[in-house]
Structure 1
Amino acid sequence: MVMKSQPGIGVSREGFREILEASSDGIIIAGEDGCILFWNHASERMFGYTPEEASVIKIVDLMPEEYHERHKEGFGKFIKTGKGSIMGRTVIVKARRRDAAVFPVELSLASHKSGGRWAVAAIIRDITERRAYEHKLAHQSRLLVKANKELALLAKISALLNQSMEFSELLNIILDTITQIDIFKLERSGGIFILRDGVLTLAAHLGHNEDFLEKHKAIKIGECLCGLAAETGEVVTSMNSHEDPRHTVSYEGMRPHAHIIVPLKAKDRVVGVLYLYLQKGIAVDSARKSFLESIGGILGVAISNSLLYEETRRLALHDPLTGLANKRLLNIELERNFVLAKRYERPFSCLMLDIDLFKVYNDSHGHVAGDQMLQKVAGAIKSSLRETDLAARYGGEEFCVILPETAVESAALVAGKIREAVKTKTGITASLGVAAFDSRMPGPGSMVESADRALYSAKKKGRDRVEVCPWP
């Protein structure tokens, strides 16, 4: 380490020593005359000068000759004006070692003036390995683009990263895009698995029959080639499905084929698997595998972003305690079904449910038990509905149910079924009000108000019952 004093500039030897111990980057401070005032061990290793040699050289000696005139002019201007074109910035420039070898560095400059004199501090990072790696990647990319014009299709995949769309739509676009790439002589067949809870579920597919889909609904980690790729996080290839013992899942009409299985990763975590078909006997070399890993990274990020988007959307539209729709989603669906019912004269009903004496239950059993009871009631409601129906937590211990394509008589029967399910599965009772769409209603809020009036009537008549509210 070199530390020299300069009039007007206080240099703490202990302070520099602490920086030296903590920094793997070169740290150099130079005075107005260009002489080096401070030089840490990382600088010694980087430039190859001994501490004694460093004490007599100037900052210009660490630059290639092509920079000398520019440095002289710029440094002189800085000393006079206090302004420099790269001062306060981080730039990539060339540096020169003691043996005259030139190498790339990342340079950050800062300045300080004390006692009327300037000192300039430089933080220097050798980026030789990084630049070599970047050049290598750029070279490989140029070769692949030149040899295969079809790789331009990958731009479509990258563009998906910046789009918000339905998850299923995203996967189908990705699959369709990938199977059009000719670099591996792909067949128009393949699919994408998504990894959830240790199981691969088929989320998108192309060119498969019903037996294939049935047998690939859920693939365990390590099972068949796709499960192996998910387990290892590595690209898996197979030249012949009929001769590869790892290919353990067969299906009706399966003919000999080759495979490329690509794990889809985001932040080194496997989020899915892309499987592609090739003609039997086609091998995939290491360069192609490496490129496929890059594709897997791109697709993995796209899928991860989409999953995050879908999960965020789900959380925004669902009650976190019960998992049912929240009031926001309820209002959206009420409006949509109301418009459809009015336009096409379709039947449409809704129910309001309130747990009987829930405050008493909450006070005597505690809030934790109360929350658990709300979850049980939500489960009882869902078990009594069709897939097309929507149950929502309206607020507190109140729930609302939308019944599309359902007349008031049928809605009353559904309400009775829910009432029985709540009593049987939870041991407590609930009261329900039923209301049906009427073309004279000004809006969907009128249906909810009608169902709420019916609910109030059920409460007033002794609870644990269903009441229907006519309109008006």
Structure 2
Amino acid sequence: MRRLLLMKSNLKNTKILVVDDEPVIREMLCAIFREDGYDVMSAEFGKEAIALAKKNDFDAAIIDIKLPDVDGMQVLSNLRKFNPEICVILITAYPSTDSAIKAIEADAYEYIIKPFDIGHVKLVMKRGIRSKKLVSENKKLLLNLEKEKQKLEIILNIGQVLNGILDLEKLSNVIVRQIADVFNADVCSLMFVDKQRDFLTVKAATGLSHAVIKTAKVKIGDSISGWVAEQGEAVLVQNIENDLLFGRNNLPKYKTKSLLCTPLKINNNVLGVINVTDKSRAGKKNFFTNDDLNLLTVTCNYAAIAIENARLYSKVSNLAVTDGLTNLYNQRYLRLRLGLEVMRVRRYHNSLSLVMFDLDYFKRFNDNYGHQAGDKVLFAVAEAIKQNIRNVDIACRYGGEEFVVILPETKLKDAVFVADKIRNTVYSLDFSGGENCVKSKISISGGCAEFRLDMTEDELIMYADKALYKAKHKGKNRICVYSNAIGL
């Protein structure tokens, strides 16, 4: 009994249109279909039926071919304009080969001759509606499959593009461009969590000003992107002004009120977030959907893997050219870069200077306070060097307690100025050593040399080393220069 009631309840949502000019037949058909639980409407004339079809989405129609005003075939044709998938059964008291052929050509589900058997009509209608629903469901399934296929193709294409890029800067820019293109968004940004895991900063973006990219900073937990970074959950906002969690007035810089924000995660570790706003595609909805959110989430999984790979590649590459203790470049990289800088000088006749430093009495410090304290000194000296040079300068750990700084486009007198700033900074530091944490001063000596066209790279290093030896010999904690005119 419950099953029967459930079936009748479902049929209430199935609409049938009965079109016949004979009142007895029309009322009889309406009665038998209502008895089966269908939602039934009727029309005596063809034009009346067409008017009803404009306002109602009928699942099926049973139409008399011969009507007083409009031919039943014409009514069928008009109904198909409003609903191409409608199931149409044609009935007639005047059967002919011609009308049967027309019914077939019009794709009528069935052609029934009056007088008809009520049981047969009910069965035909039931099968017709079921067939119509199956066709409709199959079409939806095919449409969904096509959408999923398109998503997979998009994801695979993005994955192939991203996996071939190991430079993090380039990768970040490609990610935002790809996502902006896929989602037809005017604005897309990639933000990374900083080392202290306090803030998000913009790594790459499209649709934002250079000033915003450089200065934007969001505290973890604040605003939408901060919340996503903290919770590790994706967010879809269709209208920011009435969103229950993040509702606020739409900012003037955004054209639309909809946005997506998705975390970039590796093993539940949030690397950053992707923000997508201002969806703008001609003739389409300008708000994001759950399908968009799902697609972006999968895309971000690929992006996160690519970012992690790029970071690991960068770490491995840095291990080959950097010193593990001080994070300065190593001697291998020094030789490589010095060769490139010398080539540049020979081509463009720019200035080039080199400074070599050595810590004073460092062995004594190590013997007194131990190598762990000595490592802290080396790291602090490296930081002092980095604080006093430009981005274009190259600081290296040459070996032991020796450091070298390459100064492109720098004359000797300017190199001496930089070297002395570094010496003063180092001497201003207080280092603790020993069980009693005794404060100790460390000094540093330096030698400067300027490259000449008749020199080799090795000679430039040798002359800076000679100047350093002179500084040591004169009492340490000073800067000396190598001069071509006076030798030293």
Q: TM-score range by the shorter chain?
A: 0.5 to 0.7
Deviation at 1:370, TM superposition (A): 1.1
Question: Percent identity among equivalent residues?
Answer: 33
State the match for 1:237 in structure 2: 236
Q: Which has the larger radius of gyration?
A: 2
Structure 2 residue 158 is matched with structure 1 residue 154: no
Aligned pair count reads: 328
State the match for 1:260 in structure 2: 260
Change (3 A) 1:252 1:141: closer
Contact kept? 2:250, 2:257, Cα under 8 Å: no
Contact kept? 2:381, 2:426, Cα under 8 Å: yes
In structure 2, how many angstroms separate the alpha carbons of the residues matched to 1:261 and 1:247? Answer: 15
In structure 1, how many angstroms separate the alpha carbons of the residues matched to 2:242 and 2:145? Answer: 36
Deviation at 1:400, TM superposition (A): 0.4
Residue 350 of structure 1 aligns with an amino acid whose one-letter code is L
Structure 2 residue 147 is matched with structure 1 residue 144: yes
In structure 1, how many angstroms separate the alpha carbons of the residues matched to 2:261 and 2:144? Answer: 22
State the match for 1:417 in structure 2: 421
Change (3 A) 1:141 1:356: farther
Structure 2 residue 467 is matched with structure 1 residue 466: no
Contact kept? 1:226, 1:273, Cα under 8 Å: yes
What are the residue-to-residue correspondences of 1:280-291 with 2, within 5 Å? Answer: 282-291=286-295
What are the residue-to-residue correspondences of 1:201-280 with 2, within 5 Å? Answer: 201-210=201-210, 212-213=212-213, 216=216, 218-244=217-243, 246=246, 253-279=253-279
Deviation at 1:247, TM superposition (A): 6.3
Residue 194 of structure 1 aligns with an amino acid whose one-letter code is F
Change (3 A) 1:287 1:189: closer
State the match for 1:429 in structure 2: 443
Change (3 A) 1:397 1:212: closer
Change (3 A) 1:344 1:249: farther
State the match for 1:169 in structure 2: 170
Runs (5+) with no aligned partner, structure 1: 1-137
What are the residue-to-residue correspondences of 1:84-233 with 2, within 5 Å? Answer: 142-146=145-149, 148=150, 152-181=153-182, 184=183, 186-196=184-194, 197-198=196-197, 199-210=199-210, 212-213=212-213, 216=216, 218-233=217-232
State the match for 2:371 in structure 1: 367
The CA deviation string for residues 156-201 of structure 1, in whole angstroms up to 9 with x for no partner, is 42124542431010111121112111xx4x2232111122332222
Q: 331, 335, 345: which is aligned to 1:331? A: 335
Q: 330, 346, 349: which is aligned to 1:345? A: 349
Deviation at 1:214, TM superposition (A): 5.7
Residue 270 of structure 2 aligns with an amino acid whose one-letter code is V
Contact kept? 1:215, 1:249, Cα under 8 Å: no
Contact kept? 2:218, 2:226, Cα under 8 Å: yes
In structure 1, how many angstroms separate the alpha carbons of the residues matched to 2:146 and 2:212? Answer: 38
Q: Secondary structure at the match of 2:261?
A: strand
Residue 315 of structure 1 aligns with an amino acid whose one-letter code is L
Deviation at 1:206, TM superposition (A): 0.4
Q: Secondary structure at the match of 1:447?
A: helix
Residue 298 of structure 2 aligns with an amino acid whose one-letter code is S
State the match for 2:310 in structure 1: 306
Runs (5+) with no aligned partner, structure 2: 1-140, 431-440
TM-score of the aligned structures, taking structure 2 as reference length: 0.62
In structure 2, how many angstroms separate the alpha carbons of the residues matched to 1:288 and 1:431? Answer: 62
TM-score of the aligned structures, taking structure 1 as reference length: 0.64
Q: Secondary structure at the match of 2:428?
A: helix
Deviation at 1:261, TM superposition (A): 1.1
Q: Secondary structure at the match of 1:425?
A: coil
Change (3 A) 1:214 1:354: closer
Q: Secondary structure at the match of 2:301?
A: helix
Contact kept? 2:241, 2:250, Cα under 8 Å: no
The CA deviation string for residues 105-132 of structure 1, in whole angstroms up to 9 with x for no partner, is xxxxxxxxxxxxxxxxxxxxxxxxxxxx
In structure 1, how many angstroms separate the alpha carbons of the residues matched to 2:250 and 2:340? Answer: 45
Deviation at 1:343, TM superposition (A): 0.8
Contact kept? 1:430, 1:465, Cα under 8 Å: yes
Change (3 A) 1:211 1:371: closer
Contact kept? 1:161, 1:305, Cα under 8 Å: no
Deviation at 1:251, TM superposition (A): 6.5
Q: Secondary structure at the match of 1:201?
A: strand
In structure 2, how many angstroms separate the alpha carbons of the residues matched to 1:142 and 1:296? Answer: 22
Contact kept? 2:158, 2:178, Cα under 8 Å: yes
Q: Which moved more, 1:328-337 or 1:243-252?
A: 243-252
What are the residue-to-residue correspondences of 1:54-73 with 2, within 5 Å? Answer: none
